[in-house]
Amino acid sequence: MYEQGYQREDILNLFKFIDWLMSLPAELEQEFQQELNQYEEEKRMPYITSVERMGMEKGMIQKARESVIDALEIRFENVPSELVDEISQVKDTSLLKNLHRQAITLDSISDFQGYLNQLIKPE
C-alpha cells in the first residue's frame, strides 16, 4: 500500500479497521507481525507511531509493577503502602522483572524491602 502511494495515516486506519473486524489466529498474527516488522525495517516506515510505542512501554512498566505487588500480596497478604509507593516509582522493566522474581523467592516482606532498598538506594 505504501508503494501504491497511500498515505501512512490511511494505511494505519485500514489496519485498525481490519483488526476491529476480525482477529487472526495466534500463529497467523505472529507471522503477519514478523513480515510487517521486516518490511518496515527495510522501508524505514514504522507501523506504530512513537507516541503509541511510548504508550505501550508505559503499559508494560505498569503491568510489571502490578505483577510485583500482586506477588507480594499473594505471598505476604499485607503490603505496606510505602513499599507499594516505592515499587510504583521504578521505571525499568528489567529491574521490575528482577523484583518480581525476588517477591516470589524471598522469605519475608522485610527481606524484599531490604533488597529493594539496596537496588534503589545503594550505599
**Helix, strand or coil for residue 79?**
coil
Q: Per-domain residue ranges for the chain?
A: 2-43, 50-120
Please indicate whether residue 5 or residue 56 has the higher confidence score (pLDDT): 56
**Measured in whole angstroms, how far is the alpha carbon of residue 38 from the centre of its chain?**
21
How far apart are the C-alpha atoms of 42 and 40, rounded to whole Å? Answer: 5
Q: What is the pLDDT of residue 84?
A: 97
Place 11 in a pLDDT band, splitting at 50, 70 and 90: confident
Q: Which residue has the cell 516488522?
A: 37
**pLDDT tens digits, one per residue of 43-84:** 665 567 777 888 889 999 999 999 999 999 999 999 999 999
Residues 34, 66: contact at Cβ < 8 Å?
no
Residues 6+ apart with CB under 8 A from 72: 79, 83, 103, 109, 112
pTM higher than 0.85: no
